[in-house]
Amino acid sequence: MRGQQPLLAFDADGVEQDVARVAQKLVVSHVRLQLFPETALSGSGRGVGHGRRLGQARRPHHLQETAVPTLQHCVAAAVLAAGLGSSARAAELVDFDEFSERFQGAASFVSGPLTFSSDSGYLGVEIAAPANGADNGTPYLVDARGSFGFARSDGQAFVLDSFDIGQSWFTSAPTASVTVSYDRVGGGTTSETLTLTHDFSSFARGLAVTAVHFDLTDGSLGGGYVALDNITISAVPEPATWASFALGLAALGAARRRRPG
């Protein structure tokens, strides 16, 4: 950048960028764009270097060494900040594949960031896939009675991105129903009834939750097992990240309104 100080600078830990500081700099950018509209929003050469040459003659001294970024630059910076946040919140997969031996009769166990608990004592992990059961060739969670559920072991809220669920062995009916309840971030519970088959079905949800519960008392399971696998979770987006992203979108809208033609 030839020694120029960027108007919008995001630290490597941009996810924690102070929103007020971003907003202030976007306002500053807006003012400068009004002062030098032909340099910032000219039809070609919107790069930093071009803008500096075109507007140089009329600039106050204290601005001559500072490049004038376009609002598109601001948008890019805001999106970059959001992207940095996303990369710090990579999705986590809980697939139970770390278990090399089957077990059942547990009240609770831990896998990855999640703690699973059951009120029936039938909770466990199946390794092989007996006949007539959902099978993806890898270990998966099983439970057959009452209800079970999971939450993060550290107590943090999370986004439930997706999970695979089906009927495992010891079930003769072609389908069965389970009710899934999601304890939502901010309060309240959302429930739905899923129809299980003898294959795993994948459900994408994207819900911000504190815990998830599976009610197996419908009766349609007939004493059979529910099979659960490939739970994908991610962190709940931080308000600061979304705020900076929203500011970027607002800046993009302003740029489009100002662009001639």
CB of 221 within 8 A of CB of 144?
A: yes
CB of 245 within 8 A of CB of 79?
A: yes
Please, which residue, 143 or 229, has the CB nearer to Ca ion? Answer: 229
Q: Is 143 in the site for Ca ion (CB under 5 A)?
A: no
- Single out the residue of 16, 72, 27 nearest to residue 48, CA to CA: 72
**Minimum distance from residue 213 beta carbon to Ca ion (Å):** 21
Q: How far is CA 223 from the centre of its chain?
A: 36
Please, which residue, 70 or 232, has the CB nearer to Ca ion? Answer: 232
The dihedrals phi and psi of 111, each to the nearest 5 degrees, come to -140, 120
**Minimum distance from residue 93 beta carbon to Ca ion (Å):** 9
**Minimum distance from residue 120 beta carbon to Ca ion (Å):** 21
**Minimum distance from residue 125 beta carbon to Ca ion (Å):** 9
Please, which residue, 159 or 228, has the CB nearer to Ca ion? Answer: 228
Please, which residue, 95 or 135, has the CB nearer to Ca ion? Answer: 95
Q: Which window, 33-41, 157-165, 223-231, 241-249, contacts Ca ion (CB under 5 A)? A: 223-231
Query: Under rule CB under 5 A, which residues in 60-99 are in contact with Ca ion?
Result: 95-97
Which residue number is nearest to Ca ion in terms of Cβ?
Answer: 138
Rounded CA-CA distance 144/39 in Å is: 68
Q: Which window, 51-59, 133-141, 151-159, 214-222, contacts Ca ion (CB under 5 A)? A: 133-141
**Minimum distance from residue 67 beta carbon to Ca ion (Å):** 52
> At 130, is the secondary structure helix, strand, or coil?
coil
Helix, strand, coil % over all residues of the chain, rounded to 5 = 30, 30, 40
Rounded CA-CA distance 172/142 in Å is: 16
Residue of 135, 143, 164, 229 interacting with Ca ion (CB under 5 A): 229
Residue of 86, 138, 177, 234 interacting with Ca ion (CB under 5 A): 138
Query: Under rule CB under 5 A, which residues in 112-131 are in contact with Ca ion?
Result: none
Rounded CA-CA distance 126/70 in Å is: 57
Dihedral sign of CA atoms 19, 68, 38, 34 in order: positive
Rounded CA-CA distance 140/125 in Å is: 5
Quickly count: other Cβ atoms within 10 Å of residue 29's Cβ.
22
**Minimum distance from residue 138 beta carbon to Ca ion (Å):** 3
Please, which residue, 140 or 245, has the CB nearer to Ca ion? Answer: 140
**Minimum distance from residue 235 beta carbon to Ca ion (Å):** 22
User: Which residues in this chain contact Ca ion in the complex, by CB under 5 A?
Assistant: 95-97, 138-140, 229
